[in-house]
Amino acid sequence: MEKGKILLALTGFHPQRWRELLAAEREVVLEPDGPSDPSITYAVVWKQKPNLLSSLPNLRAIFSIGAGVDHIFADPGLPDVPIVRVVADNLTQHMTEYVVWRVLDHHRQSMLYRAQQQKKIWREPPQRAAEDISVGIMGLGNLGRAAASVLLSLGFAVNGWSRTERPMKGVSTYSGEAGLIPFLNATDILVVLLPLTPRTQGIINYGVLKELRRRNGLGGAVLINAGRGRLQKDADILRALDDGTLKEASLDVFEVEPLPKTSPLWSHPKVFVTPHAAATSDPAHLVPIMLLQMDAFERGEKLENLVDREAGY
């Protein structure tokens, strides 16, 4: 079978490196050749233009260059072909680093020490043991489980919440709507690694933050969101920080990205901002995986890491 041609449709990512690496093995185009180009078999995408993919009559599969696929479902004319998302050691490792970095930073009171340093204050506050702190991971999927296992090895108590029951050794697991409040009530540091779907949009709101446990030793609950910005209500996070419902937050994602310069989150003393950089997709690691998948598909094998359209992730 002839190697299928790839349409590379990236918004917000520079396509050059992706193109070079994909083109080492297959023909790659950045635009279809006309409104119903029959020559394209695969689309490799990030936030593709609406109705672009539905114009391709011979499209056989869509590859997301990220783990999240909400950017693909935003297309009202999305064709009914398999969607493959990223599951890759390199991306998982980056996300684990981000989560562990942010958990340790809050646990070891980095914001307090930074403030003390600015005022040249030599004072050692009490430090809780990791085992006294419960980290609750919302979204116990590929990324959540990897982060959970490192946090466990550091001695933290770990809770996990998922849509379906997902047991994990050493982790207290909760699932579905019925499990949400008990999960939050047992969590000091909330780590959000959910996909954005119609069911999860806006889930990180004031009511949910209010349910978090506030242990005296940590001095309040902490939010870390590296999932998607539209899972959260930025205004509710600010309210929770300002009235003490939240002690601190680390936010990698925001309702609007880039975060507008006018957002009070930028300069809030209790907020640590990163620009959707927790786990960036690296073409050098991801393109070889995509090419192998395309080769296998053309040999009649099944595609891996397929998105469940019904569930939306």
| Contacting residues toward ligand NDP, per CB under 6 A | 66-68, 95, 139-144, 161-164, 166, 193-197, 199-200, 226-228, 252-253, 276, 278-279, 313
Residue 183 interacts with, from ligand NDP, ligand OXD, none (CB under 5-8 Å by kind):
none
DSSP class per residue in the chain? -PPPEEEEEESSS--HHHHHHHHTTS-EESS-SSTT-TTEEEEEEESPPTTSGGG-TT--EEEESSS--HHHHT-TT--SS-EE----HHHHHHHHHHHHHHHHHHHTTHHHHHHHHHTT---------GGG-EEEEE--SHHHHHHHHHHHHTT-EEEEEESS----TTEEEEEHHHHHHHHHHT-SEEEE-PPP-TTTTT-BSHHHHHTS---TTTTSEEEEE-S-GGGB-HHHHHHHHHTTSEEEEEES--SSSSPPTT-TTTT-TTEEE--S-TT---HHHHHHHHHHHHHHHHTTPPPSSB--TTTT-
Nearest to 192 by CA among 167, 222, 226, 163: 226
Q: How far is the CB of 163 from ligand OXD (least distance, A)?
A: 18
Q: Which is nearer to ligand OXD, 55 or 142 (CB)?
A: 142
Stretch that binds ligand OXD, among 55-63, 65-73, 208-216, 261-269 (CB under 6 A): 65-73
Q: Which of ligand NDP, ligand OXD, none has residue 140 at its interface (CB below 5 to 8 Å by kind)?
A: ligand NDP
226 binds, among ligand OXD, ligand NDP, none (CB under 5 to 8 A by kind): ligand NDP
Q: Does 86 bind ligand OXD (CB under 6 A)?
A: yes
Let me know: does 241 contact 260? Beta carbons within 8 Å.
no
Closest approach of ligand NDP to the CB of residue 141, in Å = 2
Asked if 71 is an active-site residue, the reply is no
Residue 86: CB minimum distance to ligand OXD, A? 6
- Residue 141 or 220 having the CB closest to ligand NDP: 141
283 contributes a contact to ligand OXD by CB under 6 A: no
- CA–CA dist 169, 113 (Å, integer): 35
**Partner that binds at residue 200, options ligand NDP, ligand OXD, none, CB closer than 5 to 8 Å by kind:** ligand NDP
Using CB distances below 5 to 8 A depending on partner kind, what does residue 193 bind out of ligand NDP, ligand OXD, none?
A: ligand NDP
- Give yes or no for residue 141 binding ligand OXD (CB under 6 A): no
Q: Mark whether 94 is an active-site residue.
A: no
Task: Out of 228, 230, 285, 299, pick the active-site residue.
Answer: 228
Residue 251 in the binding site for ligand OXD (CB under 6 A): no
Task: Quote the least distance from Cβ 193 to ligand NDP, whole Å.
Answer: 5
Q: Which does 195 bind (CB under 5 to 8 A by kind): ligand NDP, ligand OXD, none?
A: ligand NDP
48 near ligand OXD (CB under 6 A): no
Q: In which residue are the tokens 């047992």 written?
A: 186
Whether the upstream peptide bond of residue 269 has omega within 30° of 0, thus cis, is no
Name the segment binding ligand OXD (CB under 6 A); options: 51-59, 63-71, 171-179, 282-290: 63-71
Residues that bind ligand OXD (CB under 6 A): 66-68, 86, 279, 281
Q: Which residues are catalytic?
A: 228, 276
